[in-house]
Amino acid sequence: MRTKRRLSPISIIIHIIMYALALFWLYPYIWMVLASLKPTDKIMTTPFFQGPFSFTNYSFLLHTSKTMNFSFLMALANSIFIAVVATVVVVISSAIVGYGLAKFEFKGKKFILGYIVFQMVFPSFMFIIPQFILMRNLHLINTYSGIILVYLMSAMWCYMCYQNFKSTPSEYIEAARIDGATELWIVFRLMMPLNRTIMSIIAIFTFAGVWNDFLWPMVVMQNYGKMPLAVLLSNFNMQYGVYLGPVMAGSVILALPIVIGFIILRKYFLEGWAVSLK
Amino acid sequence: MFKKNFNAREARKGFSMVSIFLIYSLIFFVYPLVWMIILMFSKWNFISTPKFAGFYNIQTVLSSEIFWITILNTLRFMVFYIPIVLIASFLFALMLRRIKYGKTFIALSFLVAQVCSGVAYSIIFSKLLSPIGPINIFLNTHFHFTVPWFTSPNMAMFTIALIVTWKFVGYYGIIFYSGMNSISNSLYEAADLDGASKKRQFFGITLPLLNAQVVLVLVLSITLAFGLFTETFIITGGGPLSSTMTPMLVMYNAAFQQLQPTYAATMAVFVALISAGIVKVTKKIIERDVTIV
């Protein structure tokens, strides 16, 4: 029989405090969304939920800002393009490398595993300058490739794939080979579907990471037409910070896709944090 | 004979798959690493060929005032950030365990800050906390004072620590929360039988058994502190009076504004070394091998 437990007074207080704090934590987001819907001169002067709400700021970003050399629609497309390409390539390359490490024996494998772990030790900021020099030597400054190339493979995700693929029974692979499957078929149609969770985690974290990345694309890209959203918005904020309404609208466009993705895919985010911290 | 042949073919297949990583990392990891070392010991400003300069860069970095200012600022950030975020995320985890209704909503409200774009949240907070922003207007109308969040040299780094805390409390809190959940209830029951108070139980059971999580959060915080860039770049630009000048900001300016990549690269190496050193010392002091007898 189920007994209904009543909440003690302390428990009620904790509930109230936590709900209040949760709203307090959401407050910057709510303020951002509401501010993006108000005209610039009303944002700082009207109370929270009051004000003539409209989509003027968004249409400003779509139309007017173009005449100021800031095409937000283009930046949005750039961000999507860069993040999608990086995500697809990272998922595929991590799976292939992970499969090669997990299911084959060859000389030097131990050394390669050590080398992969060794790469994960370095903080990413160390590589900004030498990687910029690399892109410069390859004449890739101000190109999409210049931004994307450094995202395409990740030591950490290769290692994660290796660890996860190890536990997939080799009998499946043998059976597929007897049926005449190629190794790539095994990677795409066997290993990836059987390890759906880790593959989803890799995809989601790569997409979000590239979408939110700021310093690297800012260093490589000075061409306003090819900038991803984060960089263009930062530039716009620096030059036209007085256009508060459009700045907030830009922030909404930048932040909201990942936030909504997070709420929908929260299971994978939580699992991803759990595996990446081990 | 056949077996051996087969193995050799297998090995070739496996190695060729792994080799795409090796080739990639040769270009995007080893080559930059070599450049890093070249930059450290040469004179170069992006034009012509680098000239060997011995320990000139190392001397310049270590004797430049701005380098030490940024290290000091990072330490100041950590002094604010680490205690605040540790206590806050611990409290978050403890209280989340007591929540019966709407746990998901509360956890998500905190965690959604973690996935926010660095640029977007920096912009939001720079407007929210500006001298004429809604927070200061609220404080002024109700309590007749305002806070110079980002405009006072004494305050700015503290405010940065606060907004980074906003971002990371949910994340660290969930780390502690899952750690607490893995502690067996029988330990607390036994402690109850022995008449140990809740406070004793917290310091005697919960805290020691969360040692791994505390170390993890400390390491993450230290690494974050030395990599601080987006917030200070967008909100303060390093000011007022260099009080929020972080190593990354100086490296960025040196390399891409003043065209001194050698200085920036040398500085990056030292910052990484200091960061790794502090992580190592912290681990040595805090880390314990916890076993339940």
Predicted confidence (pLDDT) per residue in B141-185, tens digit: 999 999 999 999 999 999 999 999 999 999 999 999 999 988 888
The CATH number of residue B85's host domain is 1.10.3720.10
Residues A53 and A72 grouped into a single domain: no
User: Residue B293 — pLDDT band, cuts 50, 70, 90?
Assistant: low
B7 phi and psi, to 5 degrees?
Answer: -60, -40
Tell me whether residues A107 and B11 touch, CB distance under 8 A.
yes
User: Residue A262 — pLDDT band, cuts 50, 70, 90?
Assistant: very high
Residues B171 and B79 grouped into a single domain: yes
Of the partner residues B11, B128, B170, the one whose CB lies closest to the CB of residue A28: B128
Q: What is the ipTM of this complex?
A: 0.91
Residues B22 and B97 grouped into a single domain: no
> What is the model's pLDDT at position A52?
85
Residue A276 covered by a domain: no
Contacts of B133 in chain A (CB under 8 A): 44
Residue A179 DSSP one-character state: T
Residues A121 and A101 grouped into a single domain: yes
- Looking at the predicted structure, is the pLDDT value of residue A32 above 80? yes
Residues A130 and A196 grouped into a single domain: yes
Residue A258 covered by a domain: no
Tell me whether residues A233 and B119 touch, CB distance under 8 A.
yes
A140 touches chain B (CB under 8 A): no
Task: Quote the domain boundaries for residue A181.
Answer: 68-239
> What is the model's pLDDT at position B265?
94
How far off is chain A from B163, nearest CA to CA, in Å? 11
User: CA–CA separation, A78 vs A217, rounded Å?
Assistant: 11
Burial readout B176-214 (b: 16 or more C-beta within 10 A, e: otherwise): bbebbeeeeeeeeeebeeeebeeeebeeebbeebbeebb
Residues B80 and B32 grouped into a single domain: no
Residue A46 covered by a domain: yes
> What is the model's pLDDT at position B281?
96
Percentage above 70 pLDDT, chain A: 98
Task: Quote the domain boundaries for residue B18.
Answer: 2-40
Phi/psi zone of residue B241: left (φ > 0), alpha (ψ -120 to 50 degrees), beta? Answer: left
Each residue of B194-224: pLDDT tens digit? 888 888 888 888 888 999 999 999 999 999 9
User: CA–CA separation, B15 vs B27, rounded Å?
Assistant: 18
Tell me whether residues A219 and B27 touch, CB distance under 8 A.
no
Residues B9 and B89 grouped into a single domain: no
Residues A139 and A233 grouped into a single domain: yes
Residues A156 and A192 grouped into a single domain: yes
User: Residue A64 — pLDDT band, cuts 50, 70, 90?
Assistant: confident
Distances from the Cα of B238 to the Cαs of A56, A182, B75, B230, B265, in angstroms? 33, 55, 15, 11, 19
Residues A48 and A97 grouped into a single domain: no
Residues B183 and B229 grouped into a single domain: yes
Residue B45 covered by a domain: no
Each residue of A102-130: pLDDT tens digit? 999 998 999 999 999 999 989 888 899 99
Q: Do A230 and A254 touch, CB atoms closer than 8 A?
A: yes
A211 touches chain B (CB under 8 A): yes
> What is the model's pLDDT at position A1?
42
Residue A271 covered by a domain: no
SS3 B92: helix
Distances from the Cα of B21 to the Cαs of A60, A149, B85, in angstroms? 45, 13, 38
The amino acid occupying position A158 is C
> Which of A43, A106, A232 to probe by mutation at the B interface, max B CB count within 10 Å?
A106
Q: Taking the CB of residue B251, how many other CB atoms lie within 10 A of it?
A: 27
- CA-nearest of B147, B84, B173, B224 to A22 is B173
User: CA–CA separation, B134 vs B131, rounded Å?
Assistant: 9
- Looking at the predicted structure, is the pLDDT value of residue B243 above 50? yes
Our count of domains for chain A comes to: 2
Q: What is the mean pLDDT of residues A139-151?
A: 96
Residues B68 and B19 grouped into a single domain: no
Residues A24 and A102 grouped into a single domain: no
User: Residue A230 — pLDDT band, cuts 50, 70, 90?
Assistant: very high
> What is the model's pLDDT at position A67?
83
Residues B269 and B171 grouped into a single domain: yes
Residue A162 covered by a domain: yes
- Looking at the predicted structure, is the pLDDT value of residue B1 above 50? no
Residues A81 and A210 grouped into a single domain: yes
Q: Do B261 and B269 touch, CB atoms closer than 8 A?
A: no
User: Residue B291 — pLDDT band, cuts 50, 70, 90?
Assistant: low
- Looking at the predicted structure, is the pLDDT value of residue A84 above 60? yes
Residue A214 covered by a domain: yes
- CA-nearest of B196, B222, B236 to B282 is B222
Residues A40 and A72 grouped into a single domain: no
> What is the model's pLDDT at position B195?
87
Q: Residue A77: in which H helix or E strand, if any? A: helix A72-103
Residues B207 and B85 grouped into a single domain: yes
Residues A96 and A193 grouped into a single domain: yes
Residue A274 covered by a domain: no
Of the partner residues B25, B118, B227, the one whose CB lies closest to the CB of residue A212: B118
Average pLDDT, chain B: 92
Tell me whether residues B118 and A274 touch, CB distance under 8 A.
no
Our count of domains for chain B comes to: 2
User: Which residue in chain B has the smallest CA separation from A121?
Assistant: B276
A278 touches chain B (CB under 8 A): no
- Looking at the predicted structure, is the pLDDT value of residue B119 above 70? yes
> What is the model's pLDDT at position A276?
76
Each residue of B40-67: pLDDT tens digit? 999 998 888 888 988 999 999 999 999 9
Percentage above 90 pLDDT, chain A: 77
Each residue of A67-81: pLDDT tens digit? 888 999 999 999 999
User: CA–CA separation, B185 vs B187, rounded Å?
Assistant: 5
> What is the model's pLDDT at position B3?
52
> What is the model's pLDDT at position A278?
66
Residues B30 and B67 grouped into a single domain: no
> What is the model's pLDDT at position B4?
54
Residues B18 and B100 grouped into a single domain: no
Residue B51 covered by a domain: no
Residues B93 and B205 grouped into a single domain: yes
Residues A183 and A207 grouped into a single domain: yes
Residues A25 and A87 grouped into a single domain: no
> What is the model's pLDDT at position A50?
79
The CATH number of residue A185's host domain is 1.10.3720.10
> What is the model's pLDDT at position B205?
87
User: CA–CA separation, A256 vs A58, rounded Å?
Assistant: 14
Q: What is the mean pLDDT of residues A194-222?
A: 95
Each residue of A155-170: pLDDT tens digit? 999 999 999 999 999 9
Residues B21 and B153 grouped into a single domain: no
Tell me whether residues A251 and B120 touch, CB distance under 8 A.
yes
Q: What is the mean pLDDT of residues A11-35?
A: 94
